[in-house]
Amino acid sequence: MLVYDETYHWEGWGGKLQLASGKCRLRICDLEKGNGEHLTHLRSILVVVSDIPGSKMSVRSCAGHIATGVAGTFKIDPKRMLLIEYSPGKTYGGKTVKQMPEAYDVAEFTWHKGKAIHPKWRPLQPAMRAILKNLLKDT
């Protein structure tokens, strides 16, 4: 069940300069809430982040900072959270039009003293992608 869908702002570092601050679209899905027809998942909180226009930084470049902030702000146990970057499909090019398909990539972190560090990226598995697409289909 989708439990949150808003713009999320993260503060950077560097005091007043706000280096690496930005914003993204943040959607949080809780697989344990809903109509009761669910499987038990080790990581039942899906945190879906997407780049939005006007942000100074990309989600990918600040994933650890975002994961740390979201876990703290929303009181999510990092062991139960799966951070997923969603990139919608895009068409680009001049004479030759090219298509970039939509992508769902998972960031696996090492957690050290409450902070997400060293993200390792991989594509979201097809079964979980289907579940997530179903949860987000109306957003």
Position 7 confidence tier, pLDDT thresholds 50, 70, 90: very high
Q: Provide the token pair at 122.
A: 């991989």
pLDDT digits (tens, 9 = 90+) for 91-113: 888 888 889 899 999 999 999 99
* Residue 75 backbone class (left: φ over 0; alpha: ψ -120 to 50; beta: rest): left
**b vs e for 48-79, b when ≥16 Cβ sit within 10 Å of the residue's Cβ?**
bbebeeebebebeebbbbbbbbbbeeeebebe
SS3 60: helix
Pure H helices in the chain: 63-73, 126-136
Span 53-74, mean pLDDT? 94
Confidence (pLDDT) at 38: 54
Q: Provide the token pair at 133.
A: 């697409």
Position 56 confidence tier, pLDDT thresholds 50, 70, 90: confident
Q: Provide the token pair at 23.
A: 């914003």
Confidence (pLDDT) at 20: 77
Span 1-18, mean pLDDT? 83
pLDDT digits (tens, 9 = 90+) for 10-55: 887 766 766 778 999 999 999 888 655 555 667 889 999 999 998 8
Confidence (pLDDT) at 35: 58
Residues 38, 87 contacting (CB under 8 angstroms): no
pTM of the predicted structure, to 2 decimals: 0.88
Confidence (pLDDT) at 96: 87
